[in-house]
Amino acid sequence: MVEPMKSSINKDEIFQPRQLLVTGGAGFIGSNFVRYWRDRYPSDRIIVLDALTYAGNRGNLADLEGKEGFQFVQGNICDRSLVDRLLQVENIDTIAHFAAESHVDRSIVEPDTFIQTNIVGTFTLLEAYRQHWNQIARQGVFLHVSTDEVYGSLLPNEPAFAETTPYAPNSPYSASKAGSDHLVRSYHHTYGLPTIITNCSNNYGSYQFPEKLIPLICINILRGKSLPVYGDGENIRDWLYVNDHCAALDIVIHQGKVGKTYNIGGNNQVRNIDLVNMLCQLIDELAPSLPVRPSNQLITFVKDRLGHDRRYAIDSNKIKTELGWTPSVTFAEGLRQTVDWYLTHQDWWMPLLSTEYQDYC
C-alpha cells in the first residue's frame, strides 16, 4: 500500500491533542482516514462511530483494535442519545463526518435510507455538536465530507466544478448529500458552529466495498465474471487516490477556514470504458492465472443507469492556492497499487461476496 502523502502541517504548531470523533470510520474512506490520522497524530484520541451496515467493516480497523487512544463504537448517527453521550464522555472537540449512504444505484432502489442517514443523520450530529460546542473551551471543527455529485453533470467542454458552481443533484444520493451540505452551511451561518465542507471526486484505493466500479471490475476479472459497463461507457469521472484525499482533509482540519467549502479532486478525468480497459491490462499483467485471458473479453455493455450523470470534474485550485495541497500520487501509480492490493487481499473481499450482494449485483 502506498504510504500516505506527507502533509505540510507542522506538528510543532499543534499544541493540544485532539479528541476526534470519526463517523463512518469503518467504511472505505473513513477507515483510510483513521489509519492515516493515527499514524500522523498518535497522541490524538480517535473514537470511531459506525453502524456497520453492508459497506462498513470493522475488520478494516482490526490493526487498531485494543490500542491506546482508539475506540470503536457500533451505533447509528441518528441515535441522538448515543451521539450526545459520546461527545460528552469522550470530550470530543473535532468531528470528521464520513458516515453516509453513498452508492447511486442503491439510492435509486431504496431512496428512503439515503434521506434518513445522509440528511437526518447529519442534522442529528449538528444539533448534538451545537449543544456540546458551547460547553468546551478549545478549538475544534465539524468537517463534513461530501461529494462532487451535488453539482450535477458537466457537458464535455464545460469547466470543472468550482466551489461556486450551483448545486444541481440528479439522483436521490446526490440530492441527499446536497441537503446535508446545506444543513452544515446553515449551522455555521446561523449558530456560528465551526463547520467546513469538502466536496471530493471519485475515490479509489484499498478497502473499498466491491459494489463500486474499480473493486467490482478487479474482483469480477479474478472470478471470470462479466465486466458491466453502463451505456456506451463514455461517462467521465475524476479519480482521487484515497491517501491523497486523507492528506487534503488533514490540511483542511488544521488550516481550513471555518464556514468555507473546499473541492478536492485528483485531476484525472477518465472515461469509464478506458478505466475498465486499464484495469484489464493491469490484472492481465499482475495476476499469475486468470479464468479468462485477455480479460477484456469479459466487458459487457449494459442498460444505462437511470439519471446517469455524464461527466464530473473538480477544480481544486482553491485548496491548492489557499492551503497548498495537491495530489501526490499519479493515477497510474495509484491504480497499480490498488489493483495489487485487491490481488493480495482476497481474504478481505471474498467474505463480502454474500448471496445478498451477488443478487443485488
Residues designated catalytic:
148-149, 173
3-state secondary structure the chain: CCCCCCCCCCHHHCCCCCEEEEECCCCHHHHHHHHHHHHHCCCCEEEEEECCCCCCCHHHHHHHCCCCCEEEEECCCCCHHHHHHHHHHCCCCEEEECCCCCCHHHHHHCHHHHHHHHHHHHHHHHHHHHHHHCCCCCCCCEEEEEEHHHHCCCCCCCCCECCCCCCCCCCHHHHHHHHHHHHHHHHHHHHCCCEEEEEECEEECCCCCCCCHHHHHHHHHHHCCCEEEECCCCCEEEEEEHHHHHHHHHHHHHHCCCCCEEEECCCCEEEHHHHHHHHHHHHHHHCCCCCCCCHHHHEEEECCCCCCCCECCECCHHHHHHHCCCCCCCHHHHHHHHHHHHHHCHHHHHHHCCHHHHHHC
